[in-house]
Structure 1
Amino acid sequence: MTACCKNAYLVFGALLVARHRRLLFVHLAAVAWGAGIELLGAVCPLTPLEVWLRMQAGGAGYSGGFIDHYLLPLIYPGALTRTVQLVLAAGALAINAALYFRVYRRRTMGPTR
């Protein structure tokens, strides 16, 4: 699964949970992991593994985190600041809270017309 798909799953996975309830705990774990990494300002533990594997294969490694290296140049012109990290985490949590509220409301009140 590509990084883009993982990040999309983190942010919008609640929509999948609405159809496939068995994904609930997998998605909640992904949200907790992603938001935790952003809120703590940590580097995902998989990033050093990726860099090491790239170097073992003869490629070049990189410094910083996955988001810093791959996504930030596409999304933001400047470097990732602590404020941007907090906004990203808050956005992911807010979107998921809204989606889960909608799923919960539909389940308890039935579909609206």
Structure 2
Amino acid sequence: MQEFRPTPVEHTRESATEGLESALKMIEGRWKLAILFHLFGGQVLRFSELERAIPDISQKMLIQQLRQMETDGIVARTVYPEVPPKVEYALTDWGQSLCPALDALLSWAGNKPE
């Protein structure tokens, strides 16, 4: 896997707002962050492993969230031609690059003044 290196971009207030709204839409949803945290660090998990790791999610919702993340380029899906089919999910390099941003957001949220 190649390491993802973001290209610095100059933003206006408007383009920054638009860019952040677009980014937040990609990770919004009740289960996407849970899926991301299970796949961070190069984890490759089968569908059934993700299902067990997130016990409150329905199969339908897990499929829906994974498909959206795959369409957005965050998750890669690999299907092996076996019977029964073996399907694995992993973060793309771009998806993995979310980790530091989410860590920073988590630290920010943890330092909320009282």
Per residue, is there more helix in 1 or in 2? Answer: 1
TM-score normalised by L of structure 1: 0.36
TM-score normalised by L of structure 2: 0.36
Where relative contact order (Cα < 8 A, 6+ residues apart) is larger, the structure is 1
Larger CA Rg, structure 1 vs 2: 1
